[in-house]
Structure 1
Amino acid sequence: MHLSRTRRFQPTAHRHTAGDSFLTMSPEPVVIHLRRTLAAALLFFAVSLSCLILFGNFEHFRFFPSSHRFPNLPTVFPSQLNDADAASNEYPLEEILKEAAMEDKTVILTTLNEAWASPNSVIDLFLESFRIGYRTRRLLNHLVIIALDQRAFARCKVIHTYCFLLVSEDSDFHEEAYFMTSRYLKMMWRRIDFLRSVLEMGYNFVFTDADIMWFRDPFPQFHHDADFQIACDHFTGSSYDLENRPNGGFNFVKSNNRSIEFYKFWYSSQEVYPGYHDQDVLNFIKADPFITDIGLKMRFLDTANFGGLCEPSKDLNQVCTMHANCCYGMDSKLHDLRIMLQDWKYYLTLPPKLKRLSVISWRVPQECSIDSLQHQGSPEMSVEED
């Protein structure tokens, strides 16, 4: 019995394991082996952790501009850029739209060129309005800025999350595009064609010029039954009245076959009305039988909610957006936009009782007016921004 127990625990050649060999080592090799094993384990852990951090955060960082990733990065001024700094799109438009879209595939779009991209210029006032507006800050998560030149794109990436460079081989849009000049017309029609492509991708959009201040969330004021709804320079009182004077700087369009066909028709109509911009052509075609044939539901937005310098919203309790339309020249536009923001900030300081009484009104237009356009010899009274 005693012999049997001895045989049971006596090691044999076929029962040797790594643990058995380790136990037979002298103390010094054991220490060396432990150190090497520990060093290898620490190296593996460090490499693994680095990979997890790098790839785990890639999705979070990929659409954020440099200032979001590195808060202390100085602002890049367009004048500091040169050809070597020329930027390009890192991601396809459809991927950017997908990231920015609301649950119902709606995005907010604006266009930007170098003239409006300078620090303390139009784009900065535009973004500020979202930040101080009522329930508008969150809408910045759904805004895509479409840059029309390299420098505007570079500035966009510093100040905003979603940017896309829309290049044009035959046109240079970096300078201020004065109303009704050849550059202005090309830029307006390029915009219509681009918006048609967004509809074809299946996205609804609110298009807004960057010289429109967003003071309230406009979505509750939109007409739910409309395919195409647009702001006005002059509103007659009825959202169905074709006598309204639409302004192409602000519209909400749902993606469907009707709206896509409408944008194709609108774009092709420039050949029928050469020398006119998109807004005037819309005025010509808004009653065309083709629109009735395709079944497009068109509505016009009340200037009480969607006002502008042509026809200001009278009640700050109702205003959603205010447009610096009917204005000629960058300096005039910036002056009145800043006054507009000051008026809104003052309104926000009022107690609720005084707000309800509508005790304040806009102090604009000041430097912007229809008269200033007439003095410049503009061929039409229905005007957008420069």
Structure 2
Amino acid sequence: MKDKTVIITTLNDAWAEPGDNFTNEAFFMTPTYLHMMWRRIEFLGAVLHLGYNFVFTDTDIMWLRDPFKLFYKDADFQIACDYFNGNSYDLHNLPNGGFTYVKSNARTIWFYKFWYNSRELYPTMHDQDVLNKIKMHPLITTKKLKIRFLSTGYFGGFCESSKDFAKVATMHANCCVGLENKVNDLKILLKDWKKYMALNDDKRKNSHPSWSVPKSCR
């Protein structure tokens, strides 16, 4: 993109090529999983250092609309939530590191280094839990990092779904364990979406659709 923004995802599990580090599913909170998550934070920090803004998206997130129109203009670091309390500035929101939009500047470059180095203080935690530990750290205020949390009304998931099909941009197979469960429910989600989009404009405006998921992810 013209503003040096890149969209990044990571190959995972069944989609990885034989011979690389990710040919087997990295089960939640195993040493392999923790290593993979922290390598991701280190890599994203390097992207920022090169001067690129980025959207990071997990592979288990279904993009339904262009999310760029919904990002906040004034934020350095914005992140999706498992649960959103209605206030995008409130640090008590529960973030999900599977979807982030980050602008490259001195504040975010510092923040990703700080986040990565904080793993040493919490060696048994993954990146998202460590983020919850450090998001209220006084240094973040001192550095004037602008954090915003994305509403689940637009950026939903299986933890807290987007209720309005006319507004939803992405849906994440979060609050779900197991690759097969995620794939099954994402297929159902896509069928729901295609059924909605197949309606003509009038029927779409007057419809009150709801998601058929989670099922396998319950």
TM-score category, normalised to shorter length: over 0.9
- Specify the code of the residue in structure 1 equivalent to 2:3: D
User: Is residue 322 from structure 1 mapped to residue 175 from structure 2 by the alignment?
Assistant: no
Q: Distance in 1 between matches of 2:110 and 2:142?
A: 11
Question: 2:64: which partner in 1?
Answer: 215
From 261, 276, 296, the counterpart of 2:145: 296
Q: Distance in 2 between matches of 1:333 and 1:150?
A: 20
Q: Distance in 1 between matches of 2:47 and 2:198?
A: 39
Q: Residues 245-295 of structure 1: CA distance to partner in whole angstroms, max 9, x if unpaired?
A: 000000000000000000000000001111100000001111101111111
Q: 1:188 to 1:358 in 2, by over 3 A?
A: farther
Question: 2:11: which partner in 1?
Answer: 112
Q: Distance in 1 between matches of 2:101 and 2:29?
A: 24
Is 2:80–2:150's contact at 8 Å kept on the other side of the alignment?
yes
1:150 is displaced (CA, Å) by: 4.7
Question: 1:359: which partner in 2?
Answer: 208
Question: 1:205: which partner in 2?
Answer: 54
- Specify the code of the residue in structure 2 equivalent to 1:215: L
- Specify the code of the residue in structure 1 equivalent to 2:14: W
Point out the structure with the larger helix share.
Answer: 1
- Specify the code of the residue in structure 2 equivalent to 1:151: P
Question: 1:376: which partner in 2?
Answer: none
Report how many aligned residue pairs link the two structures.
218
Q: Distance in 2 between matches of 1:357 and 1:251?
A: 33
Q: Residues 164-190 of structure 1: CA distance to partner in whole angstroms, max 9, x if unpaired?
A: xxx7xxxx3321011111111100000
- Specify the code of the residue in structure 2 equivalent to 1:260: I
Q: Distance in 1 between matches of 2:45 and 2:123?
A: 20
1:356 is displaced (CA, Å) by: 2.0
- Specify the code of the residue in structure 2 equivalent to 1:254: K
- Specify the code of the residue in structure 1 equivalent to 2:197: L
Give 3-state SS (helix, strand or coil) of 1:264's partner: helix
User: Is residue 236 from structure 1 mapped to residue 113 from structure 2 by the alignment?
Assistant: no
1:236 is displaced (CA, Å) by: 0.2
- Specify the code of the residue in structure 2 equivalent to 1:317: A
**Unaligned stretches of 5+ in structure 1?**
1-101, 118-148, 153-166, 370-386
Is 2:96–2:128's contact at 8 Å kept on the other side of the alignment?
yes
Higher relative contact order (CA 8 A, sep 6+): 2
User: Is residue 343 from structure 1 mapped to residue 192 from structure 2 by the alignment?
Assistant: yes
User: Is residue 282 from structure 1 mapped to residue 131 from structure 2 by the alignment?
Assistant: yes
Is 1:316–1:358's contact at 8 Å kept on the other side of the alignment?
no
- Specify the code of the residue in structure 2 equivalent to 1:116: A
Point out the structure with the larger strand share.
Answer: 2
Give 3-state SS (helix, strand or coil) of 1:207's partner: strand
Question: 1:268: which partner in 2?
Answer: 117
Give 3-state SS (helix, strand or coil) of 1:273's partner: coil
Alignment root-mean-square deviation, CA = 1.3
Q: 1:364 to 1:150 in 2, by over 3 A?
A: closer
From 134, 147, 151, the counterpart of 2:18: 151
Is 1:173–1:183's contact at 8 Å kept on the other side of the alignment?
no
1:331 is displaced (CA, Å) by: 1.5
1:151 is displaced (CA, Å) by: 3.3
**Unaligned stretches of 5+ in structure 2?**
none
- Specify the code of the residue in structure 1 equivalent to 2:45: R
The 5 Å alignment of 1:1-386 reads 102-113=1-12, 115-117=13-15, 150-151=17-18, 172-369=21-218
- Specify the code of the residue in structure 1 equivalent to 2:65: R
1:354 is displaced (CA, Å) by: 2.5
- Specify the code of the residue in structure 1 equivalent to 2:99: F
**TM-score with structure 2 setting the length:** 0.97
1:352 is displaced (CA, Å) by: 1.3
Structure showing greater Rg: 1
Q: Distance in 2 between matches of 1:257 and 1:345?
A: 42
